[in-house]
A and B are shown apart, each in its own frame.
Chain A
Amino acid sequence: MSNRLLKAAAFAVVVLMVLFAAVTVFASGGGEATAPQSVVPESSLPWWAWPAILFVVCFVMGIVAVLGGVGGGVLFVPIVGGFFPFHLDFVRGAGLLVALSGALAAGPGLLKKGMADLRLALPVALIASACAIVGAMIGLALPTNVVQISLGATILGIVAIMLMAKKSEYPEVPKADALSSALQIHGIYHEASSGQDVAWKIHRTPQGLATFVLIGVMAGMFGLGAGWANVPVLNLMMGAPLKVSVATSKFLLSITDTSAAWIYVNNGAVLPMMVVPSIIGIMLGSIVGVRILAKTKPAAVRYIVIVMLLFAGSRALLKGLKIWN
């Protein structure tokens, strides 16, 4: 089964590469909007090279993201925004759709298995998705260099969170708070490794919900996805078990990123030539990554992800400050 999937992924990669190569023939064809140039002024590459490179980079990113335990969106925006010729507006729009597609693909399985918890997700999603709209509108209205600087600072902050934040498999929650009791947010989590059922409840719900205001704004503003922030808040602040937090966070992204993605779509910040290779590349990479993960989990990959984010975050910061253009 895994071999079949790997072969299918490899086949899809080859087919898309051939299609990209084939379009050089079609490239001379017409359309309605007219423009004299066919390449980026600073680049000697033909137009199709960038989407093709984007596809390959996203494929690798999909593998690395799974092995490094991060969402694809958090890698996509700083790396593509920093090293590709696309404007940050389009990169963020594509980043949201990449994160959204990954969350949509994972959502059904997580819900059916009862790993993601709808009662925990719905109130959080309402706040995060409403705030993501605000974040997306702010992000599209701010000058690009301000967004670049903020993005760089945020990515460096994520690196700090990844290095410092601890995780708790089963956080101790002495007493459920009044709000979570009223909303009946609790459950029984079955730990397959030990075969035990673990009853869980949450606390500090008002503080957690308030934090999702900020998370929603940042998700919409930068197009990053927000798993890096969702998990620590659900797990460490609100006290949900780690696996429930990770699964609910992934499902949550499908709602938060939906609202922000629509703002980018409706404001024109979505280019199919960027979005589709990115989504297909990262999803095929994720399939391969999951297969590799089933056999081995190299600890070094997480540090490679951290170094990549450190580099890409610094690049965004310096680009925004016009030090490294």
Chain B
Amino acid sequence: MGKGNKATEEQLVYAKILDFGMKAGLLLITVTFIVYLTGALAPHIPVNDLPKYWAMPVKDYLHATGIHPGWAWLGMLGKGDILNFLGIALLAGVTIICYIPIIPIFLKKKDKVYAVIAAIEILVLTLAASGVLKSGGH
């Protein structure tokens, strides 16, 4: 690192959490995928049937497989394929966690504008993650 490239306190805090979350997420998807491939846990969708479903539009796929969108997968973690959503959710969720500790740092620096930007970003990402926003399908 050159003397000019000084990462700020909030930047380092963000990076530290991101680094941990990213590594944990990648490890988790790898482990859960191996569980899925070995058949240690029976999948919700038999692997032999996957080609029939992966060619369908998502709306038809959900209807045909009886999978409910949103966070319903949390109740199906005993299935080998659904278990993979743990790692996927961690990868998709780590950014939200990264934002939380930087708000107090901005406030400590009396940088209210960036504290508000970070807070709104958390709301936006949480809204996206909440499952409230449903697409009309096609």
Enumerate chain A interface residues (CB-CB to B < 8 A). Answer: 19-20, 22-23, 26-35, 37-40, 43, 47-48, 50, 85-87, 89-90, 97, 100-101, 104-105, 107-109, 111-115, 118-119, 122-123, 125-126, 129-130, 133, 136-137, 140-144, 182-183, 188-192, 195, 197-198, 254-255, 258-263, 265-277, 279-280, 283
Determine the residue in chain B with the shortest Cβ distance to A40.
B51
Q: How far is the CB of A93 from chain B (nearest CB, A)?
A: 8
Which residues of chain B in 1-30 are interfacial with respect to chain A, using CB atoms and an 8 Å cutoff? 1-8, 10-12, 14-16, 18-19, 21-22, 25-26, 29-30
Residues of B within 8 A of A86 (CB): 54-55
Asked if A133 and B127 make an inter-chain contact with CB atoms under 8 angstroms apart, the answer reads yes
Q: A183 vs B113: C-alpha distance in the bound complex, in angstroms?
A: 8
Residues of A within 8 A of B69 (CB): 266-268
Asked if A259 and B128 make an inter-chain contact with CB atoms under 8 angstroms apart, the answer reads yes
Q: How far is the CB of B16 from chain A (nearest CB, A)?
A: 7
Can you identify 9 A-B contacts, CB atoms within 8 angstroms? Answer: A29-B47, A31-B45, A35-B48, A35-B49, A40-B51, A104-B25, A111-B15, A273-B47, A280-B33
Chain A at the B interface: mostly helix, strand, loop or mixed? helix
Asked if A47 and B1 make an inter-chain contact with CB atoms under 8 angstroms apart, the answer reads no
Count residues on chain B whose CB falls below 8 Å from chain A CBs.
89
CB-contact partner of A190 in B5, B47, B96, B130, under 8 A: B5
Known: A23-B47, A104-B94, A269-B58. A114 touches B7 (CB 8 A): yes
CB-contact partner of A87 in B54, B65, B67, under 8 A: B54
Known: A33-B44, A101-B26, A108-B16. A144 touches B4 (CB 8 A): no
Chain B at the A interface: mostly helix, strand, loop or mixed? helix
Asked if A254 and B18 make an inter-chain contact with CB atoms under 8 angstroms apart, the answer reads yes
Residues of B within 8 A of A22 (CB): 37-38
Q: A129 vs B117: C-alpha distance in the bound complex, in angstroms?
A: 12
Q: A188 vs B1: C-alpha distance in the bound complex, in angstroms?
A: 12
CB-contact partner of B51 in A38, A115, A122, A261, under 8 A: A38
Asked if A266 and B131 make an inter-chain contact with CB atoms under 8 angstroms apart, the answer reads yes
Determine the residue in chain B with the shortest Cβ distance to A195.
B2
Q: How far is the CB of B137 from chain A (nearest CB, A)?
A: 7
Known: A40-B51, A276-B84. A267 touches B58 (CB 8 A): yes
A-B contact sample (11 more), CB < 8 A, given A31-B47, A111-B7, A118-B11: A27-B47, A29-B46, A33-B64, A34-B46, A111-B18, A113-B7, A114-B7, A258-B92, A258-B93, A259-B125, A272-B36
